[in-house]
């Protein structure tokens, strides 16, 4: 037996009576960020229709009777789906307790304000390559001021190598305005200061059943640190995310709190050989209905939501040195002797 437990991460947000779905219902995007892989954005792939979403949510309810369902709609850019507001309304009518969307905030502020009739939480991702800082800030403040206190809007800053002073200026603005935020490392095609190409993303790779001949994008097994210069790494070292949504236990059993975004920031996201409970409290649906535990594809294809929803109770052993999966970083994990 593999005991005793040596290290552990537990997310108090993950409850037995709740199933959390990440639904990548469209990978169409109006941006083309260099650090984004084809798995997450292209303009060719099938977009899940309103009718397919309805079949899917009913299959999830059938497999999880009595459970609360939360859904994180992801893309691509979810707000360019032609029926996004109808989908939000339908999901709420089907009893989804919490709907979250990640957006690049490129649509008019009024679209987001309207969506909060059904939406519970919005993460706005700031992409240096495509975003006008002033327009983004103005929209963010307008939406923040219009939503009720039971709704949530979050600022996610994708730290772009080559944009140190602009990053510091945004963090100062966030602090001055008491805005809670998270920061994430990325792997851009170019550093924005000297056009240096990051060759390591051209190595090719396989994600789930999909093979990418040139571009691995999220880059499992690749450390993001070599994309940043010394000064940027110093800033990253001083940075502390505003959320504490994960409990960590070290080898002495001491408890500490952190944001799961901190794991890659602090190089604590190497889970090779750890038990990872991804899939138990959550799973990922692709735009064609295929279901995986997470982006990494560990555990393989586990079904198609247009046919039925899976039920998973066993962990996987992580084969990767760099976890960059959203739900994956949040999932319970433990390292055994």
Point out which residues bind ligand SF4 (CB under 6 A): 29, 31-33, 36, 40-41, 75-77, 104, 127, 271, 276, 278, 294, 296, 298, 316, 318, 320, 323, 325, 328
The answer to whether the bond into 76 is cis (omega within 30° of 0) is yes
CB of 248 to ligand SF4, least distance (A): 14
E-strand spans in the chain? Answer: 5-10, 18-24, 68-74, 98-103, 121-126, 152-159, 181-185, 205-207, 210-212, 246-249, 255-258, 275-276, 282-285, 290-292, 303-304, 316-317, 333-336
CB of 294 to ligand SF4, least distance (A): 4
- According to DSSP, residue 197 is labeled B
Closest to ligand SF4 by CB, 33 vs 57, is 33
- According to DSSP, residue 128 is labeled T
CB of 13 to ligand SF4, least distance (A): 16
CB of 104 to ligand SF4, least distance (A): 4
Residue nearest to ligand SF4 (CB): 328
Closest to ligand SF4 by CB, 76 vs 289, is 76
Closest to ligand SF4 by CB, 31 vs 190, is 31
Query: How big, in percent rounded to 5, are the helix, strand and coil portions of the chain?
Result: 25, 25, 50
CB of 176 to ligand SF4, least distance (A): 26
CB of 62 to ligand SF4, least distance (A): 26
CB of 147 to ligand SF4, least distance (A): 22
Yes or no: say if 292 and 208 are a contact pair by the CB < 8 Å rule: yes
By the 10 Å C-beta count (0-12 exposed, 13-18 middle, 19+ buried), 294 is classed as buried
Token code pair at residue 75? 């893309």
- Residue 319 phi/psi, 5-degree rounding, is -95, 5
CB of 241 to ligand SF4, least distance (A): 18
Closest to ligand SF4 by CB, 59 vs 220, is 220
- Residue 72 phi/psi, 5-degree rounding, is -105, 110
Angle at 21 between CA 15 and CA 26, to 5 degrees: 165
Yes or no: say if 187 and 224 are a contact pair by the CB < 8 Å rule: yes
Closest to ligand SF4 by CB, 40 vs 265, is 40
- According to DSSP, residue 280 is labeled T
Distance CA 232, CA 239 (A): 11
Distance CA 273, CA 256 (A): 22
CB of 193 to ligand SF4, least distance (A): 20
- According to DSSP, residue 201 is labeled G
């Amino acid at each position: 037996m593999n005991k005793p437990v040596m290290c552990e991460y537990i997310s108090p947000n993950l409850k037995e009576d709740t199933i959390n779905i990440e639904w990548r219902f469209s990978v169409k995007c109006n941006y083309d960020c260099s650090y984004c892989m084809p798995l997450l954005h292209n303009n060719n792939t099938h977009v899940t229709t309103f009718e397919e979403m309805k079949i899917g949510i009913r299959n999830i309810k059938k497999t999880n009777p009595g459970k609360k369902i939360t859904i994180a709609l992801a893309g691509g850019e979810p707000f360019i789906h032609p029926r996004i507001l109808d989908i939000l309304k339908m999901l709420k009518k089907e009893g989804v307790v919490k709907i979250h969307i990640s957006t690049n905030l490129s649509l008019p502020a009024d679209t987001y304000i309207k969506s909060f009739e059904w939406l519970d939480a919005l993460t706005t991702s700031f992409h240096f390559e495509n975003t006008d800082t002033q327009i983004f800030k103005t929209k963010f403040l307008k939406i923040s001021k219009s939503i009720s206190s039971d709704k949530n809007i979050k600022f996610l800053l994708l730290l772009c190598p080559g944009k140190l002073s602009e990053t510091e200026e945004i963090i100062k603005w966030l602090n001055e305005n008491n805005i809670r935020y998270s920061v994430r490392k990325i792997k851009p095609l170019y550093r924005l200061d000297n056009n240096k190409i990051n060759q390591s993303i051209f190595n090719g790779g396989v994600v789930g059943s999909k093979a990418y001949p040139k571009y691995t994008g999220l880059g499992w097994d690749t450390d993001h640190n070599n994309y940043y210069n010394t000064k940027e790494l110093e800033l990253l070292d001083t940075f502390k995310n505003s959320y504490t949504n994960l409990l960590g236990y070290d080898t002495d059993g001491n408890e500490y709190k952190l944001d799961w975004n901190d794991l890659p920031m602090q190089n604590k996201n190497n889970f090779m050989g750890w038990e990872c409970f991804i899939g138990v409290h959550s799973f990922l649906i692709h735009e064609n209905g295929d279901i995986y535990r997470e982006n990494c594809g560990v555990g393989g294809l586990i079904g198609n939501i247009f046919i039925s929803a899976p039920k998973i109770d066993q962990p996987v052993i992580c084969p990767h040195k760099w976890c960059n999966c959203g739900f994956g970083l949040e999932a319970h994990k433990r390292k055994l002797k």
